[in-house]
Homo-oligomer: A and B are copies of this chain.
Amino acid sequence: MKKATIHEIAKALNIDSSTVSRALNNNSRVAKKTKEKVFNKAKELGYKPNLLASNLRKNRSNTIGVVVPRISRYFFSTIIAGIEEVAFKEGFNVVISQSLEQVKREKKIMDNFVSNRVDGVLMSIAWESNDFQHLQNLEGLGIPLVFLDRHPASLESCNKVIIDDYKGACEAVDHLIKSGCKKIAHFAGPQFLEIYKSRLKGYSDTLKKNKLKSEPKLIVASHLMKDDGFNIMRDLLEKHPDIDGVFSANDEAAVGAIKFLKKIGKKVPEDISIVGFSNDPLSEVVEPPLTTVDQFGAEMGKKACELLIQNIKHQKDDPFQYQTIILSPKLIERESSRGVIERRIN
């Protein structure tokens, strides 16, 4: 079961292992003939390079570490697709880990990344995060970090790629108002995270701009899971049966709300209109087709990866310069698949 090494190739060919190493790495100052011999012998012996040794020697792993809350969320898996596209093109490997929204796991993952000498880290932080020591340590170790979408509200100087959450929220609420909604609730996210703060602000500001009251009772913060959406919708309707619109800070909670509304026989969007952030492909076959704010995950992943690689490459010569890249979200309307919405008059 012992794997072949460059030394065995060297011995078999009566040359030095350093020449073999150079040949395998396609170094220009190795004779063509030698290279061929080496390649053939390598194949013959079933040689597989040991990257552990190589990376140890070179003190870098050619690997980018990615941390997301969970890969099962469509938004994050599109982000990952974008990251991989750029990373592979640039010759980097990608290691994906999920924090499952737990800081504890986030820290372990970071430790692991450091111990395995990843060259850089891309991350969307867990929403229970309120302690960012583990992130600041990274830079002390010379490992560049770029935040993707979710970033700490308390951290000013950092690299990040985000969408314009404020603008997206404004458009979403605008859309609800234009559809005739008079009383719009907001499913808010954890306020540790800047993105959810911005979405809330966009909601409040847009209501005010349209001369509608922004009532604290209609704003409910949660972790925005499907069950949260279900329960919040139920509780809100109990106290405020005249709610006719919901702006959810993500689509998962929106889906939960729809589930509840379906259960009690309320029609969407005739009785209640819903708009959510993120854009799962199933949104269009949910009934009703859900209007969403598209965050362009793949684009974000690509941009973030490019920024990170840039940081990795210019780590030494350049003074550290933090960048923020802001993408524009896009409202995708799907409510009118049945034609014009006719809002019922209660």
Contacts and interface: CB of A to CB of B under 8 A. Distances in A.
Question: 10 closest Cβ contacts across the A-B interface?
Answer: A287-B287, A72-B77, A1-B142, A51-B115, A52-B56, A282-B282, A71-B71, A48-B114, A96-B96, A52-B55
Interface in A62-91: 70-72, 74, 77-78, 80-81, 84
A48 B115 contact: yes
A129 interface: no
Contacts of A46: 137, 140-141
B284 A50 contact: no
Nearest to A262: B285
A212 interface: no
Contact of A115 (B50, B72, B255, B280): B50
B50 A56 contact: yes
Contacts of A284: 259
A30 interface: no
Given A49-B115, A280-B282, 7 more contacts: A3-B141, A50-B56, A51-B117, A52-B56, A77-B77, A282-B282, A285-B286
Interface in A285-334: 285-287
Report copies per complex: 2
Interface in A243-268: 255, 258-259, 262
A137 B3 CA distance: 12
Interface residues on A, range: 35 or more
Contacts of A339: none
Nearest to A78: B72
Contacts of A80: 71
A96 B71 contact: yes
A61 interface: yes
A137 to B, nearest CB: 8
Contact of A61 (B52, B70, B77, B111): B52
A258 B285 contact: yes
A117 B49 CA distance: 10
A294 to B, nearest CB: 16
A51 B63 CA distance: 14
Interface in A210-255: 226, 255
Nearest to A95: B95
A340 to B, nearest CB: 18
Contacts of A78: 72
Contacts of A115: 48-51
Contact of A51 (B72, B93, B116, B280): B116
A140 to B, nearest CB: 7
Nearest to A143: B1
A197 to B, nearest CB: 28
A48 to B, nearest CB: 5
Interface in A40-55: 46, 48-53, 55
Nearest to A112: B93
A104 to B, nearest CB: 12
A52 B117 contact: yes
Nearest to A72: B77
A56 to B, nearest CB: 4
Among A49, A52, A111, the one with the most B-chain Cβ atoms within 10 Å of its Cβ is: A52
A33 to B, nearest CB: 26
B111 A48 contact: yes
